[in-house]
Amino acid sequence: MLKQLGELASKALDELNKVSGLKEIRTWQTRYLGKKSSLTQILRSLATLPAEERREIGARANEIKATFEIELARKKKTLEKAKIATLVKQEALDITLPGYSISPGRLHPTTQTVREICSVFGNMGFQVVEGPDVEWDYYNFEALNIPKSHPARDMFATLWVDFETENGDKPMLLRTHTSPAQIRVMERTPPPIRAVIPGRVYRYEATDATHEWMLYQIEGLAVDKHITMADLKGTLFEFTRRLFGDKRKVRFRCDYFPFVEPGVELAIDCTACDGAGCRLCGNTGWLEILGAGMVHPGVLRRVNIDPKTYTGFAFGMGVERISMLRYGIDDIRLFYSNDLRFLKQF
Ligand code: DAH
C-alpha cells in the first residue's frame, strides 16, 4: 500500500507539473483530491486496517494530501499570474503607435497681417488705436479737406446709412477709409502723436478679383515738432523692409490726396520678378503699397493743432493687398468667402 501511495504521489505531481490551464487544474483536483480519488478512498479505508499499518499508511496518505494541496495552490497561483500577464498584454495600449494629429485652428490671414504690420509700427513707437466703422460725413470727408462739392469724393464709392437730418442731409456712412480716425486721434490727443489705426472700410463697389465691398486698412499718423518728409520716407522705408525683406527697393512718387501736401505713393520693386516686369506688376516692375504724405496744414488747423509749430505725416494701406503680394493670392474675394480650404493654408 505504501508503494502504491508513493507511485500515486509521483504520478499526480508529475501530471500537475504538466498542467497548463485553469480548466485542466480543476480536472486534476477532482482526479487526485476529489471524493472518488484513490487518495480519498485510501484515507476512508484506514479504519479497516490493522492498527500498525493504519498509523503508517495514515501518516503517509495525509502527508501526500497536504503536499497535493500545497502544490495545487502554488500551481493555481502561477497559472493565474500567467493569465493576468496575458490579459494585460492584450489590453495594453501600444504607445509606440503614432497618434492622430489634431490640426490646430489658426488666425485669419488678414488678422495675421494686421498684427504683423501693427507690431512693426509698434516697435517704432506707434500706438495701436481704433475708430468707428459707422462714421459721420464730417470725419470721413469734411475734416480731411473733402467738402461736399469736392471731386475727390468720387474717389470713394460711398455706402450711406439711411439716416436723414431735419434739413434732408445724409451725414452718416460706412467709412470708406481709415483716415477719419486720424482726425479723431488728433482731436483727443495733443502732439506728440504716433498712432496706427487698423480697421474695416466699406465701398459701394462691384466685386471682382481686385475689388471687395469690405476690406481692411491700416492708417498711420505721426504729429510732432520738426517732422519732415525725411521722417516719412525713413519710417516707411524701414517698414517695407521689415515686412518684405531687406532686398526690396522702395520708390516714392507724387500722388494726390486732399488731406496731405505733398502726397506720395509708395511702391516696392515687384516681389515676383524683382523688378524685371511680369503679370503681377503689370510689366512695370513696381507694386504700389500705400498712399502717404505730410498732413495738410488745413487738417491740423481744423483740430486746433498749430501748423506753424507742428507738422506730421500720414499713410494708409490696404491689408488684403499686402497679404496678396506676400502670399501670391490672386483674388481678393477669397479672403471673405469662408472657404476653409483657402484659409487653412495660412
Ligand atoms: N485714405 C486713402 C485711401 O483710402 C489712403 C491714404 C493716402 C491715407 C494718403 C493717408 C494718406 O493717410 O496720407 O485711399
The cell for 188 is: 483727443
Q: Tell me, in angstroms, the distance from the centre of ligand 1 to residue 257's CA.
A: 7
What's the rounded Cα separation, in Å, for the pair 104 and 344? 10
Q: pLDDT tens, 285-329?
A: 999 999 999 999 999 999 999 999 999 999 999 999 999 988 889
For residue 147, give every residue at least 6 positions away whose Cβ sits within 8 Å of its Cβ, in sequence order, or none: 141
Cβ(223) – ligand 1 distance below 6 Å: no
Cβ(313) – ligand 1 distance below 6 Å: no
| Residue 313 Cα: closest atom of ligand 1 | 13
Q: Tell me, in angstroms, the distance from the centre of ligand 1 to residue 265's CA.
A: 9
Take atom 8 of ligand 1 and give the residue whose Cα is closest.
316
| Residue 155 Cα: closest atom of ligand 1 | 14
Structural domain count of the chain: 2
- Pick from 213, 223, 314, 306: nearest CA to 263: 314
Do residue 22 and residue 162 come from a single domain?
no
Domain boundary among 89, 117, 150: 89
Residue 103 inside a domain? The answer is no
Cβ(265) – ligand 1 distance below 6 Å: no
Among 158, 315, 317, say which to mutate for ligand 1: greatest number of ligand atoms within 8 Å of CB.
315
Query: So what's the pLDDT on residue 128?
Result: 98
| Residue 221 Cα: closest atom of ligand 1 | 12
Do residue 85 and residue 115 come from a single domain?
no
Q: Tell me, in angstroms, the distance from the centre of ligand 1 to residue 315's CA.
A: 6
Do residue 9 and residue 144 come from a single domain?
no
Q: Tell me, in angstroms, the distance from the centre of ligand 1 to residue 108's CA.
A: 24
Take atom 6 of ligand 1 and give the residue whose Cα is closest.
316
Q: What are phi and psi of 278, to 5 degrees?
A: -155, -175
Do residue 59 and residue 133 come from a single domain?
no
Residue 101 inside a domain? The answer is no
Cell 483716415 belongs to 179
Q: What is the 3-state secondary structure (H, E, C) of 166-185?
A: CCCCCCEEECCCCCHHHHHH
Long-range contacts of 159-167 (CB under 8 A, 24+ apart): 159/202, 159/203, 159/204, 159/213, 161/134
Q: Tell me, in angstroms, the distance from the centre of ligand 1 to residue 340's CA.
A: 32
Q: Tell me, in angstroms, the distance from the centre of ligand 1 to residue 115's CA.
A: 20
Do residue 117 and residue 247 come from a single domain?
yes
Cell 468720387 belongs to 154
Residue 77 inside a domain? The answer is yes
Take atom 12 of ligand 1 and give the residue whose Cα is closest.
315
Using an 8 Å Cβ cutoff, are 201 and 213 in contact?
no
Q: What are phi and psi of 238, to 5 degrees?
A: -65, -40
What's the rounded Cα separation, in Å, for the pair 82 and 85? 5
The cell for 51 is: 492498527
Query: So what's the pLDDT on residue 306?
Result: 97
Domain boundary among 27, 60, 89: 89
Look up the domain containing 71 and give its range. 2-89
> Half-sphere exposure of residue 20, counting CA atoms within 13 Å on the CB side?
1
Query: So what's the pLDDT on residue 323?
Result: 95
Do residue 44 and residue 133 come from a single domain?
no
Q: Tell me, in angstroms, the distance from the centre of ligand 1 to residue 346's CA.
A: 28
Tens-level pLDDT at each residue, the chain (346 residues): 778 888 888 888 898 888 888 888 888 888 888 888 888 888 888 888 888 888 888 888 888 888 888 888 898 898 888 888 888 888 888 788 888 888 889 999 999 999 999 999 999 999 999 999 999 999 999 999 999 988 888 878 899 999 999 988 889 999 999 999 999 999 999 999 999 999 999 999 899 988 999 999 999 999 999 999 999 999 999 999 999 999 899 999 999 999 999 999 999 999 888 999 988 888 999 999 999 999 999 999 999 999 999 999 999 999 999 999 888 898 999 999 999 999 999 9
Q: pLDDT tens, 88-125?
A: 888 888 788 888 888 889 999 999 999 999 999 999 99
Do residue 80 and residue 125 come from a single domain?
no
